[in-house]
Structure 1
C-alpha cells in the first residue's frame, strides 16, 4: 500500500471523482455528454469514445489535486493510456490524484428488497492486474431498495466478505451499499444498514482498512460516529440521482462526509463544447462539489 496515497485519502481536503461507468451505464453517460448511440457501432468503439471523454476530463486544468483526492476508474479505463501512460499512472504522476478501480460485475436481480452484487469469479486476477497498474483501492456497489433486515444483512455481509478478499491483496476496498434515494423507507433502511456495518467493523482484524461509500443520509451527520472507527479511512457519498445542486446542498449538511459523484460531476459537460467552455463548466462543478465536501 502506498502510504503517501493513504495519508492523502485519509486527511486531504477534496473529493473523489467517480469516472467508472461500465458497460451497462456507459451509453447513458455518453448521452448525457451529447454523444448519440448511433455514433458508435460496437462495444469497443463505445469504450473508445468514453475513454476520450474521461481523458478530456482528467487532462482539464480543472481536474487537479487542489480539489480532487482520488478518481474511480472502470477496468477498461485502467487498461487504456493517456499520453502514453496507463491511466492510473497519469492520474498519480501528472495530477496527484489517487487511482481506484471499480471491481463489481453489476447487480443481481432484486431479492429481499435488495440487489446483491453478481458473482466475481475472476476477482483475484483483476486485483493482481490492479496492483500491476498501481491502483490504490477498489469500489463495488450493491443497492438497498427496502428496509428489509434479511436483505440488508446479506448486502453488508457480501460487501465485507469481498472487502476482506480485496484487502488481502494490499488494496483498500470502498464498500458501497447504496440506499436508493427514492425508497419509501430510506431512513429505516439507513438505520438497519448502519447496525450491520457496525457489526462487521467490530469483527475486522485490527490492521484492516476500508472506506465506505454511502447515500447521503436522511438524518444529517448520521454516519459521523462511523468516521471515528479506526478501520474506516474515509466515508464518501454518492449523488444517487440527485441533481448536482441538490446533492451538494445535502452533502454540505453532513460534516466530514465528502463527495464521490459521477453524474453530478459530469453534469453540463458536452462533446460539442470548446475547450474553454468545457473547462469552465468542469471548473464550476469541481469548485461547487469541493466546497460542499469541506463544509
Structure 2
C-alpha cells in the first residue's frame, strides 16, 4: 500500500473524480459529451474517443490536486497514456491525484431486487497490473433496488469477499453497493445496507482497510457510523443520477462524506467547447463539488 496516497485519502481536502465509464456506459457518456455513435464504428475507436475526453479533463488546469484528491479509471484508461505517461503515473506524479481502478466486469441480471457483480475471473492478473501501474485502490459496483434483507446480505458478502482478495494484493478496495435513487424502498434498503456493512467491517483485521462508495441517503448523516469506523479510510458518495446541484445539496447533509461523482462532474462539458470554455465549465463543476465535499454545518 502506498502510504503517501493513504495519507492523502485520510487527510486531504477534496473529492474523487469518477472517470471510469465502462463499455456499457461509454456510448452514453460520449453522447452526453456531444459525440454520437455514428462517430465511431469499432469498440477500439469508441474507447479512443472516451480516452481523449478523459485526457482533456485530466490535463485541464481546473483539474488540480488542491480540490481533486483521487480519480477512478477504467481498465483501458489505465493502459493508455497521457502526454507519453501511463494515465495513473500522470495522475500521481504530474497532477498529484491518487489513482484508482474500476475492476468489476459489470452487473448480473436483477434477481431478488439486486444486481450482483458478474464474475471477475482474471482479478489476480488485473490487480498485478494495477500494482505495476502504481494504482492505489480499486472500485467495484453492485446495485440494490429493493429492501430485501437476504439479497442485500448477498451483495455485501460478495463485495467483501472480493475486497479481501484486493487487500491481499496490497490495494485499498472501494466497495460500492449502490442503492437505486428511484427505488420506492430506498430508505429501508439503506438501513439494511448500513447494518450489513457494519457487520462486515467489524470482522476486518486492524490492517485491513476499505473505502465505501454509497448513494446519497434519504436520512441525513445515516452513514456517520461508517465514516467513523476505524477500518474505513473514507466514505464517498456517488451522484447516482442526481443533477450536480441536487447531489451537492444532499452531500452537504452528510458530515464526513465526500463526493465521487461522474455525470454530475461532467454534465456541462462538451466536445465542441473551446479549451477556455471547457476549462471554465470544469472549474465551476470542480469548485461546487469541492465546496460540497468540505462543507461543515
- Please classify the TM superposition score into its range, dividing by the shorter chain length: over 0.9
CA deviations on 1:98-151 (whole Å, 9 max, x unpaired) are 000000000000111100000001000000000000000000000000000011
Which residue of 1 is the match for residue 147 of structure 2? 147
| Structure 1 residues not aligned, in runs of 5+ | none
After TM superposition, give the deviation of residue 45 of structure 1 in Å: 0.3
Match of residue 86 from structure 1: 86
Alignment correspondent of 2:232: 232
Structure 1 segment 264-279 matched on structure 2, within 5 A: 264-279=264-279
Unmatched 5+ stretches in structure 2? none
**Secondary structure, counterpart of 1:214 in structure 2:** strand
Spell out, residue by residue over 1:153-184, the C-alpha distance to the aligned partner (whole angstroms, 9 max, x if none).
00000000000000000000000000000000
Q: Deviation per CA, 1:226-261, whole angstroms, max 9, x where unpaired?
A: 111110000000000000110001001111110000
1:1-295 counterparts in 2 under 5 A?
1-295=1-295
How many angstroms apart in 1 are the aligned matches of 2:130 and 2:254?
Answer: 32
Q: Structure 1 residues 220-229 or 117-126, which shifts more?
A: 220-229
How far the C-alpha of 1:205 sits from its partner, in A, is: 1.5
RMSD value, Cα: 0.5
SS at match of 1:236: strand
- 2: CA distance, partners of 1:270 / 1:105: 28
Kindly report structure 1 stretches of 4+ aligned residues shifted beyond 4 Å: none
Q: CA deviation at 1:42?
A: 0.4
Could you tell me the TM-score, scaled by structure 2's length?
Answer: 0.99
Distance in 2 between the 1:167 and 1:265 partners?
29
In 2, the alpha carbon distance for the partners of 1:267 and 1:8 equals 27
Alignment coverage as a number of residue pairs: 295
Distance 1:175 1:127 in 2: 15
Q: Secondary structure at the match of 1:183?
A: coil
In structure 2, what is the Cα distance between the partners aligned to 1:280 and 1:68?
16
